[in-house]
Amino acid sequence: MIEVKWLDSAVFYEIYPQSFKDTNGDGIGDFRGIAEKLDYIKELGCNAIWMNPCYDSPFLDAGYDVRDYYRAAPRYGTNDDLKALFGEIHSRGMHILLDLVPGHTSWEHEWFRQSCRAERNEFTDRYIWTDNTWEAPEGMNALIGLAERVGACGVNFFSHQPALNYGYYKPKPDKPWQQPTDAPGPRATLEAMKDIMRFWLNMGCDGFRVDMAPSLIKNDEDRKGVIALWQDVRAFLDREFPDAAMVSEWGEPDKSLQGGFHMDFLLHFGPSHYNDLFRCDRPFFGGGGDASEFVKTYKENLVKSGGKGLMCIPSGNHDMYRLAKYIHGDGLRIAFAFLMSMPGAPFVYYGDEIGMRYVEGLYSVEGGYERTGSRSPMQWDSTENAGFSTAPADRLYIRLDPDSGRPTAEKAMADPGSLWHEIQKQIRIRTEHPALQSRGDIEFVYCEKDSCPLAYVRGGGGEKILVVLNPSAKPAAFECGLVPGEAIYCFGGGLTAKAGVITAPAHSAGWYIL
């Protein structure tokens, strides 16, 4: 695998395009709105963007139900508008990953319409179909009764998302519709996905964040089949697009990195204990929780992945409750001090940098359900609709936070003591120190169950940096043979070190040269 050097110092900003900035007054964000705000993103310090799906879609699942992979969604703009956005991003020395959705399409996709026909055609095997209308694929829900053809079509997630067919790693002999991964249908699906990647890479994007990357091949308990599939994709990219970056939504870095992804993306579900830190009844960065299971799992993954540590940790995303629902005040600053000092590229979900809140009590929009409150419009300023759109309030994509005191980017940037400025400082310092960047190594030096602080050493570029985080309301001490030197970042007061014991003040975070 060819390494992509810009990922070494990447700090991502996730844009949910529907809710970022509307320039034509229809209540929905668009490409030109993103282009208008690139300088804001760059001033914060982020040098890379992950944009959620922007392809043509009926938007029953916020764009994760793709109707045409080759066409930008008209509500955001045209393909030419998107190409122009790529150019604006690159002119600022920034990069952009598109969101690739390889596991399923919309049921309105032409591939699926053709697949539903009784006569065999090139799309008959593009999706997972049984050969009995009354038999759903094992472990999957199914679409039944929609097609001329005999059979039931497996779906991913919502019922309108028929599952693309990449084959079965262990097809069952009594299920002839379970095709092996090297059968013509699954191979054609994979080649079609490569063509989609070619199209957008030639258009100017810098790579992809891949949605649910481990889910493509069925009956693949150890993920050997899907690892081989992504190795095939990796070989294609290395031949044709060696600078294309790939970040997986997987949650098992030992497998995703083996498959050829440059970085993995920790999930808010599964075994990582990510949400022990951010989203639970007692989150660690809320001041009273436990980080030990997260650290234990993280260390296990370091061993499994050969010490690469390329696990991206997001502040949140469109699928999670907002960070500020569970963590407030100084806790947010300390949480970001963690995010900006861990290996792998950090991801800032739009609005988290100003402490945007989860909006309670919203009806579901485009399949958001409980996630809808995390997808509300970006709050730019004190003008109409918080500067997001000139549309009437009842035509906004999602209702704004109704609180008149809601945080805005304008207020945050004008206040030197704001969370926005704290994150800007953290990103700047991370960028100046290779040890804090994506490929720097990590050694945890203190993390005990139900205890503070959390302490670890980052190393790289000939330097070592001690990170000590204490989100609790009282000083926290631990025995350590290290002697902290200059503080390159300090919030809430500096450490004291005496007789081999380091003490961190309450509600504090610090990065110290060793």
Give backbone dihedrals phi and psi of 14, rounded to 5 degrees, phi first: -85, 125
Structural contact between residues 6 and 48, judged by C-beta atoms closer than 8 angstroms: yes
Residues facing residue 479 across a β-bridge: 501
pLDDT per residue as tens digits for the range 135-152: 999 999 999 999 999 999
pLDDT per residue as tens digits for the range 8-34: 999 999 999 999 999 999 999 999 999
510 falls in which pLDDT band (50, 70, 90)? very high
Mean pLDDT confidence for 41-66 = 98
Percent of the chain past pLDDT 70, that is, above it, reads: 100
Residues facing residue 312 across a β-bridge: 265
Q: What is the pLDDT of residue 270?
A: 80
* Residue listed under structure tokens 């891949």: 210
Structural contact between residues 240 and 301, judged by C-beta atoms closer than 8 angstroms: no
Nearest to 140 by CA among 193, 219, 85, 209: 219
Structural contact between residues 44 and 381, judged by C-beta atoms closer than 8 angstroms: no
CATH 2.60.40.1180 given to domain 441-513: yes
CATH number for domain 104-165, candidates 3.90.400.10, 3.30.70.360, 1.20.1540.10, 3.20.20.210: 3.90.400.10
Distance, in Å, from the CA atom of 43 to the CA atom of 350, rounded to the nearest integer, reads 14
Residues carrying CATH 3.90.400.10, the chain: 104-165
Class (C level, CATH) for 5-101+186-430? alpha beta
309 falls in which pLDDT band (50, 70, 90)? low
pLDDT per residue as tens digits for the range 403-448: 999 999 999 999 999 999 999 999 999 999 999 999 999 999 999 9
Q: pTM of this prediction?
A: 0.97
pLDDT per residue as tens digits for the range 321-351: 999 999 999 999 999 999 999 999 999 999 9
Mean pLDDT confidence for 487-507 = 96
Mean pLDDT confidence for 468-497 = 96
User: What is the residue-wise DSSP string for 307-347?
Assistant: T---EE-BS--TTS--GGGT--THHHHHHHHHHTTSSS--E
Q: How far is CA 11 from the centre of its chain?
A: 12
pLDDT per residue as tens digits for the range 64-86: 999 999 999 999 999 999 999 99
Pairing of strands 441-446, 245-249: unpaired
Distance, in Å, from the CA atom of 274 to the CA atom of 322, rounded to the nearest integer, reads 14
Residues carrying CATH 2.60.40.1180, the chain: 441-513
